[in-house]
C-alpha cells in the first residue's frame, strides 16, 4: 500500500486488552500509528477508538487489510469502518431563509478548513441562491407545501442519490423531515440547531429562552433522527447573557456562535 493516511473507527463491548490487540495488529501489518483517541462509556460498557495510521511500508492492499482486520474484528465484536483518505466526502447543505450558517460553511470550505466537497445547496425558498452562486455551488430551489411534502422529498432524494452524497447538513432548514427520509440516510444527516439542546426545542427558541430568563444561550449540532431535535449531540457552544437580553439580541448572539 502506498503512503497514505488510513483511519479506523471502532466500537465494541469493553474488555481488557483491546488497545494491545488493536495496536499490535497494525504494528504486525507494518503500519505506523499517527494518533489514537479512545474512551469507554462506563454506563453502556462500550469502547470507542479512532486510530489514524501511516500506510507507508505496509505491504497489504486495501482489500487485504479489510479482510485481515476481520481476524480481530469478528471475535471482539467490532462495529467498525475504515477511511483510506484521498476521496473527499460529498456534502449537501439544506437551507430555508437564514443565511449565516450557509455563509459560514461555504466560507470555511473555500478556505480549506472543511475537508469536503460541497456539491449543492437545496432550499425550499429562492432567497439564498445568490450566496451559493457567489461560491460557485449549484443551488436547487424545491418549494414545498403541506400537500406536496412527499413529492418534494422525493426530488431531494433523487438529487442526493444521483450525486452520491455522503452527508447532509441542515443549516437552518425550517422543515421537519419525514421518518422515511431520515431513515433512508441513517447517521448521515446533521442538523445545526439554534438552541442549546435539549433546552428549547422546535421553533422560536429565542422567545422561549427569553421567557425562561436563562443566562446561557447556545447552538447545537446533532444527528437528525425521527424524534425532533433529540438526535445524538455532536458538539455545542454556549455564551452567557444578561437580564437585559431580548429575543432579538439572543438571536444575534446565536448567529455568531459556531457549534
Q: Which residues are catalytic?
A: 229
Give the whole-angstrom CA distance, residue 79 versus residue 9. 8
- Nearest-CA neighbor of 23 among 4, 60, 51, 47? 51
- Nearest-CA neighbor of 231 among 240, 239, 220? 220
Concatenate the DSSP letters of all residues of 187-209 into one string.
T-EEEEESS-TTSS-SS-HHHHH
SS3 category, 141: strand
**Exposure string (b/e) for 143-182, b if CB count within 10 Å is 16 or more?**
ebeeeeeeebbeebeebbeeeebbbbbbbbbeeebeeebb
- Nearest-CA neighbor of 79 among 12, 26, 6? 12
Amino acid at each position: 500500500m502506498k503512503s497514505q493516511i488510513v483511519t479506523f473507527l471502532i466500537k465494541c463491548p469493553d474488555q481488557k486488552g483491546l488497545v494491545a490487540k488493536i495496536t499490535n495488529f497494525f504494528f504486525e501489518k507494518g503500519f505506523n500509528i499517527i494518533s489514537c483517541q479512545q474512551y469507554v462509556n462506563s454506563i453502556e460498557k462500550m469502547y470507542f477508538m479512532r486510530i489514524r495510521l501511516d500506510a507507508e511500508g505496509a505491504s497489504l492492499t486495501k482489500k487485504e487489510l479489510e479482510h485481515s482486520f476481520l481476524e480481530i474484528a469478528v471475535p471482539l465484536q467490532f462495529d467498525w469502518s475504515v477511511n483510506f483518505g484521498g476521496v473527499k466526502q460529498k456534502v449537501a447543505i439544506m437551507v430555508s431563509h437564514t443565511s449565516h450558517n450557509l455563509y459560514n460553511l461555504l466560507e470555511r470550505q473555500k478556505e480549506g478548513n472543511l475537508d469536503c466537497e460541497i456539491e449543492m445547496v437545496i432550499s425550499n425558498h429562492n432567497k439564498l441562491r445568490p450566496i451559493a452562486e457567489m461560491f460557485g455551488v449549484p443551488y436547487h430551489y424545491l418549494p414545498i407545501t403541506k400537500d406536496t411534502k412527499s413529492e418534494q422529498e422525493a426530488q431531494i432524494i433523487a438529487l442526493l442519490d444521483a450525486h452520491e452524497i455522503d452527508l447532509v447538513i441542515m443549516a437552518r432548514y425550517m422543515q421537519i423531515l419525514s421518518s422515511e427520509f431520515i431513515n433512508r440516510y441513517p447517521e448521515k444527516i446533521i442538523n445545526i440547531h439554534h438552541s442549546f439542546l435539549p433546552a428549547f426545542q422546535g421553533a422560536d427558541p429565542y422567545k422561549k429562552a427569553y421567557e425562561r430568563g436563562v443566562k446561557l444561550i447556545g447552538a447545537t449540532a446533532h444527528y437528525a433522527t425521527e424524534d425532533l431535535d433529540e438526535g445524538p449531540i455532536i458538539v455545542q457552544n454556549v455564551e452567557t447573557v444578561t437580564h437585559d437580553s431580548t429575543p432579538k439580541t439572543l438571536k444575534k448572539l446565536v448567529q455568531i456562535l459556531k457549534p
